[in-house]
Structure 1
Amino acid sequence: MTTHRLLEGRRVLVTGGARGLGFAFAQALATAGARVVIADILSERVQQAAAELQAQDLDVSGVTVDLANPASITACAAETVQRLGGLDGLVNNASITNSGGKTCEELSIDTFDQVMQVNVRGTWLMTVACLPALRESGRGAVVNLASDTPLWGATNLLAYVASKGAVIAMTRSLARELGKDNITVNAIAPGLVLVEATAYVPEARHRLYTEQRALQRAQLPDDVSGAVIFALSDLARFITGQTLPVNGGFVMP
């Protein structure tokens, strides 16, 4: 992927960066010139991921965060700003699924609440924790990772679908609220991406995505990275409150 150093000098926090999409984002953003902090609940893995990217001469470091814990979120934001000397971009990538394969009747209240706590409340609180630094930047950009599942109504995944639908709605509200601070807020809605987190997904659903896409192939992490780079760059400074499906044409809203 050619990025032309679109993010030269930008300071960016990526949550859920220890593996999967978050790791791919961190690698792509740093390759595009950004200084990146990756945050993840997997404390050992996040340090390993940071070391792996540092070995590629990329400016990436790792911190631990628990998005279910407000104090941990506040501490993560503060440490990130201290390390980077400020913050220009936030990628709210971290989320959990937990409800996959269960019908709406089988889904437990505890599971539903846990998914909402991490995916929705965690995204909100991390954004709020980073706001002072994003305001000070003068070119702050927030990218929320949504999903195309609420755009087509995926079945047997209710808690996750509801949480990502909430992220899309929250993106619009935050964009309205933070526009006065010259902060853009946009959502990226990937399709089913081949990463560790989707290993549990039945083959039938992988096949459904591949066969029904306009671009009939599997979706890889690098297929999403370009959209995140764009949303954080000066090329997107007049784009806010939008949701961009990146799914090979599976959903065309």
Structure 2
Amino acid sequence: MTLENRHILLTGAARGLGADIAQALADQGARLILADIAEDEGRATASRVGAAFEPVDLGDPASISALGQAVAEKTGGVLHGLVNNGAIATGIGGIAFEDIEIESWDRVQRVNVRGTWLMTRAAAPMLRASGSGRVVNVASDTAIWGAPKLLSYVASKGAVMAMTRSLARELGPDRIGVTAVAPGILTTQSTEYVPEARHRQYNDGRAVPGPQGTAEVADVVAFLLGEAALTLTGQILPANHGFVFR
């Protein structure tokens, strides 16, 4: 399998899982455009993997539109893959559903749900032009097993899963495959705030016990961007070492 010379746009690429996805795609020869709100870290990751970088605020429709235009200019209007990895996760957990502030709830949905929709909408004409486009949405297994005290995030990732299925049907006639990966808790900067008890719950409850890093999930994303993955369109893959099954 190779992604040689395939133009791929990756959001949330500055660090953590996004940076490892960028490395995995670069290793397979993809022509990458990385996007993130964290410009300094994003540019550093892009430099490290030999990719282009564009800033984006997924909570701002104008910023997403500008990113779409920049990508069209860089790729000649042909995009082979989109990875919707950008999302808000840090600092929104451990709060009972009654205590979530409305603005915090709305911000999570703006970035994680609306941002995924608008980013896919901006990329769709370029994906159609490729004749073999792929969209991979990064969801979370918290929306499969129903993690407590994380409702705004769980709701947003449940919406991403639902959109994956619907988009697969809408884009399928154009031979665009749409899938989602649903990792468990990963060992990254964005999960440092997660209570130790929740990490233990995952580590002890996985079919393959222990912590899960980001590199394996990145490899799954790389596979889903390839030609052979079209048959999996609409599927949600819990890439979590067997914490939950589908």
Letter in 2 for 1:187: A
Residue 78 of structure 1, CA deviation? 1.5
Superposed CA offset, 1:11-61 (max 9, x none): 10000001011110011001011011110001122111111223xxxxx11
Matched, 1:161 2:154: yes
Letter in 2 for 1:38: L
SS at match of 1:252: coil
SS at match of 2:35: strand
How do 1:1-253 residues align onto structure 2 when only pairs under 5 Å count? 4=1, 6-54=2-50, 60-85=51-76, 86-97=78-89, 98-253=91-246
TM-score calculated relative to the size of structure 1: 0.94
Residue 83 of structure 1, CA deviation? 1.5
Letter in 2 for 1:23: A
Conserved 8 A contact 1:35-1:84: no
For residues 141 and 109 of structure 2, what CA distance do their matches in structure 1 show? 17
SS at match of 1:207: helix
Unpaired segments ≥5 residues, structure 1: 55-59
SS at match of 1:190: coil
For residues 30 and 20 of structure 2, what CA distance do their matches in structure 1 show? 14
For residues 174 and 104 of structure 2, what CA distance do their matches in structure 1 show? 36
SS at match of 2:99: coil
SS at match of 2:108: helix
SS at match of 1:249: coil
For residues 197 and 203 of structure 1, what CA distance do their matches in structure 2 show? 14
TM-score calculated relative to the size of structure 2: 0.97
Letter in 2 for 1:7: L
For residues 4 and 48 of structure 2, what CA distance do their matches in structure 1 show? 21
Residue 235 of structure 1, CA deviation? 1.4
Deviates more, 1:152-161 or 1:230-239: 230-239
Residue 232 of structure 1, CA deviation? 0.5
For residues 164 and 62 of structure 1, what CA distance do their matches in structure 2 show? 26
Q: Percent of pairs identical after alignment?
A: 52
SS at match of 2:97: coil
Residue 132 of structure 1, CA deviation? 0.6
For residues 198 and 81 of structure 1, what CA distance do their matches in structure 2 show? 34
Residue 197 of structure 1, CA deviation? 0.5
What residue in structure 2 maps to residue 57 of structure 1?
none
SS at match of 1:96: coil
SS at match of 1:162: helix
Superposed CA offset, 1:72-111 (max 9, x none): 1011122122213321000000000242110001111111
Letter in 2 for 1:220: G
For residues 230 and 49 of structure 1, what CA distance do their matches in structure 2 show? 21
Letter in 1 for 2:84: N
Unpaired segments ≥5 residues, structure 2: none
For residues 93 and 108 of structure 1, what CA distance do their matches in structure 2 show? 24
For residues 24 and 92 of structure 2, what CA distance do their matches in structure 1 show? 30
Conserved 8 A contact 1:10-1:88: yes
For residues 131 and 48 of structure 2, what CA distance do their matches in structure 1 show? 31
